[in-house]
Amino acid sequence: MSNFLFGRYLPGNSWIHQMSPQSKLMLSFYFVIIIFFANNIWTYGTLSVLILFVVLMSGVSIGYFLKGIRPLIWLIIFTVLLQILFSSGGHVYWHFGPFSVSDTSLINGGYIFVRFLLIIMISTVLTLTTTSLAIADGVQTVLKPLKKVHFPVDTLALMLSIALRFVPTLMDEMETILNAQRSRGVDFGSGSLRHRIQAAVPLLVPLFTGAINHAENLSTAMEARGFTDSEHRSKYRVYRWQKKDTISWIIFLFVGILILFIRNN
Amino acid sequence: MDQEISFNQVTHTYQADTPFAQNALDKVSLKIAPNSFTAIIGHTGSGKSTLVQHINALLKSTFGEIEVYGRQITPSTTNKNLKQLRKHVGMVFQFPEKQLFEESVIKDIMFGPKNYGASDADAEKSAVKAMKLVGLDASLRDQSPFDLSGGQMRRVAIAGVLAMNPEILILDEPTAGLDPHGHKEIMDLAQGLHDHRNMTIILVTHQMDDVVDYASDVIVMDRGQVVKHGTPSQIFADPKWVYKMHLDLPSSGEFATRLIRAGVPLEKTPLTIENLADEIVHLIQGGNHTDE
d(CA B140, CA B175): 22
**Do both B254 and B197 map to the same domain?**
no
Q: What's the Cα-to-Cα distance from A181 to each of A186, B41, B127, rounded to whole Å? A: 6, 25, 17
Phi, psi of A255 (to 5 degrees): -60, -40
**Do both B188 and B278 map to the same domain?**
no
Between chain A and chain B, the number of residue pairs with CB atoms below 8 A apart is 64
d(CA A104, CA A122): 27
Q: Is the pLDDT of residue B17 over 80?
A: no
Q: Is A59 on the interface with B (CB under 8 A)?
A: no
d(CA B1, CA B16): 35
**Do both B105 and B231 map to the same domain?**
yes
- Give B289's Cβ-side CA count (13 Å radius): 6
**Do both B212 and B196 map to the same domain?**
yes
Q: Is B171 on the interface with A (CB under 8 A)?
A: no
Helix, strand, or coil (residue A225)? coil
pTM: 0.79
| Torsion sign across C-alpha atoms B75, B77, B79, B83 | negative
Buried b / exposed e over A226-246, threshold 16 CB at 10 Å, is eeeeeeeeeeeeebeeeeebe
CATH number where B165 lies = 3.40.50.300
**Do both B233 and B259 map to the same domain?**
no
* Residues in A 113-172 with any Cβ partner in B closer than 8 A: none
**Do both B170 and B133 map to the same domain?**
yes
- Please tell me what DSSP assigns to residue B176: T
- Give A6's Cβ-side CA count (13 Å radius): 12
pLDDT at B159: 95
H-run or E-run covering A17: helix A15-18
Q: Mean pLDDT, to the nearest integer, of A37-55?
A: 90
**Do both B84 and B174 map to the same domain?**
yes
CA A158 to chain B, closest CA, distance in angstroms equals 27
**Do both B18 and B73 map to the same domain?**
yes
Dump pLDDT digits (tens) for B91-133.
999 999 999 999 999 999 999 999 998 999 999 999 999 999 9
Mutation site for B-interface testing, chosen from A70, A183, A187 by largest number of B Cβ within 10 Å: A183
| CB-based contact B176:B136 (threshold 8 Å) | no
Residue A168 CA, distance from chain mean position: 16
| CB-based contact B154:B96 (threshold 8 Å) | yes
**Do both B102 and B224 map to the same domain?**
yes
**Do both B190 and B292 map to the same domain?**
no
Identify residue B69 by its one-letter amino acid code: Y
Dump pLDDT digits (tens) for A166-222.
888 898 899 899 999 999 988 887 778 888 888 899 999 999 999 999 999 999 999
**Do both B149 and B263 map to the same domain?**
no
Contact criterion met (CB < 8 Å) for A185 and B53: no
- Count of structural domains, chain B: 2
CA A147 to chain B, closest CA, distance in angstroms equals 39
H-run or E-run covering B108: helix B105-115
Dump pLDDT digits (tens) for B133-185.
998 999 999 999 999 988 899 999 999 999 999 999 999 999 998 889 889 98
> DSSP per residue over A74-143, as a string?
HHHHHHHHHHHHH---S-EEEEETTEEEEHHHHHHHHHHHHHHHHHHHHHHHHHHHS-HHHHHHHHHHHH
**Do both B133 and B262 map to the same domain?**
no
Contacts of A212 in chain B (CB under 8 A): none
Contact criterion met (CB < 8 Å) for B86 and A176: no
Q: Which of B19-28, B43-52, B183-192, B220-229 has the lowest mean pLDDT?
A: B19-28
Give the CA-trace dihedral at A249, A253, A254, A258, to 10 degrees.
150
* Pairing relationship of beta strands B37-42 and B217-222 according to DSSP bridges: parallel
Contact criterion met (CB < 8 Å) for B99 and A202: yes
Residue B170: give the domain boundaries. Answer: 5-248
